[in-house]
């Protein structure tokens, strides 16, 4: 874990956006005309799932969370924003014909790009190997967020599976969210990268609830040790820390469920990992967190 990084003030918002390639909105002539902002009549709840590095099991968490909430009777949309490297469809056993790139290019509508999974869960895939999705422009993201904003009134919960790290589109959405699930592993590299992401998210969004889960821990002792190290550094340098949501063991059921292309919560509901995930899915912030209006409208504003 890093021990020499000092907390950054909230005033770094614009600097962090510029560093990530997001242009600031500036007044004056010649400014690009923006699409009309049109928020939903009723905004659903949104939870972002992110990690500091790849390979932590972030998509595993997002797909199981979405599947469990859908099974409980909620109208759930899972958006795989790991653009160009999407794998949520594989974990759900789905074969989408269209993806985010098709929506962004307006080849199809959002509704036509959705594919239905178990218990009515809807998936919007991020696509695989798509260069246009890997580095979208500000205009493309603004258009995509505008289209996605109208979906908020159709669903009770939208789960967004982000790519690892802080890419162009991820930062703007994390600046807009009210609820973030941060996924890490016990390894020092995963903890260090998760801390770096947590620190930068707080610099652009001081009003969100963050829950941390330690995935693929061999036992509770290791998981609690990892949490203790993360919490200690966060408290020391940021004067705050996430909520600890628990840990998920690395058991055989997880491997088998991925091979079967089915969430472990459905494929092996009595496994140790599935029991841990059920506790995670009951996090109070997912149900009770205020929306504060349209998530995607706030994300569009963060782009500018």
* Mean pLDDT of the 150-165 span: 92
Question: What percent of the chain stands above pLDDT 70?
Answer: 82
pLDDT at position 39:
55
Higher pLDDT, 221 or 132: 221
Is the per-residue pLDDT at 151 higher than 70?
A: yes
Average pLDDT, the chain: 85
Q: Can you state the angle between helices 272-281 and 252-260, rounded to 10 degrees?
A: 80
Q: 166 or 79: which carries more pLDDT confidence?
A: 79
pLDDT in tens, 20-44: 444 433 333 333 344 455 555 566 7
DSSP string of 151-194, one letter each residue: TTTT-SEEEEEEPSS--HHHHHHHTT-SEEEEEE-SSHHHHHHH
What mean pLDDT comes out for the span 158-180?
A: 89
Order the strands of the 243-249 sheet from edge to edge.
115-116, 122-124, 76-81, 157-162, 45-51, 179-184, 209-217, 243-249
Q: Beta strands of 42-196 (E only): which ranges?
A: 45-51, 76-81, 115-116, 122-124, 157-162, 179-184
Average pLDDT score over residue span 278-294: 82
pLDDT, residue 129, reads: 65
CA 294 to each of CA 34, 165, 273: distance values in angstroms, whole numbers, following the listed order: 17, 24, 33
Based on its alpha-carbon atoms, the radius of gyration of the chain, rounded to whole angstroms, reads: 18
Confidence at residue 38, expressed as pLDDT on a 0 to 100 scale: 56
pLDDT confidence of residue 304: 77
Which structural domains are found in the chain, ordered by start? 48-303 (3.40.50.300)
pLDDT for the residue numbered 37: 55
- In this predicted model, which residue has the larger pLDDT, 128 or 294? 294
pLDDT in tens, 243-257: 999 999 989 999 999
Contact 216, 191 (CB under 8 A): no
Q: What is the pLDDT of residues 161-170, one digit of tens each?
A: 998 878 778 8
Picking from 284, 229, 249, the residue whose alpha carbon sits closest to that of residue 57 is 249
Q: What is the arithmetic mean of pLDDT over 77-104? A: 90
Q: pLDDT tens for residues 188-237?
A: 999 999 999 999 999 999 989 999 999 999 999 999 999 999 999 999 99
CA neighbor of 173 nearest in space, from 66, 303, 43 = 303
CA pair distance 4, 141, nearest whole angstrom: 35
Share of the chain above pLDDT 90, in %: 69
In the predicted model, is pLDDT for residue 73 greater than 90?
yes
> What is the average per-residue pLDDT within 59-65?
96
Q: What pTM did the predictor assign?
A: 0.85
């Amino acid at each position: 874990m890093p021990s020499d990084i000092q907390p950054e003030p909230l005033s770094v918002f614009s600097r962090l956006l510029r560093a990530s390639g997001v242009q600031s909105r500036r007044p004056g002539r010649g400014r690009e005309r923006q699409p009309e902002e049109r928020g939903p009549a009723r905004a659903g709840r949104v939870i972002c799932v992110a990690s500091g590095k790849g390979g932590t099991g972030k998509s595993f968490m997002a797909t199981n969370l979405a599947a469990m909430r859908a099974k409980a009777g909620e109208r759930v949309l899972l958006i795989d924003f790991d653009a160009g490297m999407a794998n949520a469809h594989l974990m759900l056993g789905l074969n989408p014909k269209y993806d985010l790139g098709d929506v962004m290019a307006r080849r199809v509508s959002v509704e036509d790009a959705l594919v239905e999974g178990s218990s009515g869960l809807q998936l919007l895939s991020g696509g695989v190997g798509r260069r246009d999705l890997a580095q979208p422009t500000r205009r493309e993201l603004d258009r995509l967020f505008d289209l996605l904003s109208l979906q908020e009134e159709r669903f009770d919960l939208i789960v967004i599976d982000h790519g690892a790290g802080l890419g162009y589109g991820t930062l703007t959405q994390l600046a807009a969210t009210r609820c973030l699930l941060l996924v890490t592993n016990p390894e020092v590299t995963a903890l260090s990268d998760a801390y770096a992401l947590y620190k930068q998210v707080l610099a652009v969004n001081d009003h969100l609830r963050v829950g941390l889960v330690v995935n693929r821990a061999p036992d509770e002792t290791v998981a609690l040790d990892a949490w203790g190290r993360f919490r200690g550094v966060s408290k020391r340098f940021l004067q705050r820390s996430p909520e600890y949501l628990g840990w998920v063991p690395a058991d055989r059921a997880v491997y088998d469920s991925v091979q079967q292309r089915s969430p472990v919560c459905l494929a092996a509901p009595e496994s140790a990992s599935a029991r841990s995930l059920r506790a995670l899915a009951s996090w109070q912030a997912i149900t009770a967190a205020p929306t504060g209006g349209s998530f995607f409208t706030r994300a569009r504003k963060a782009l500018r």
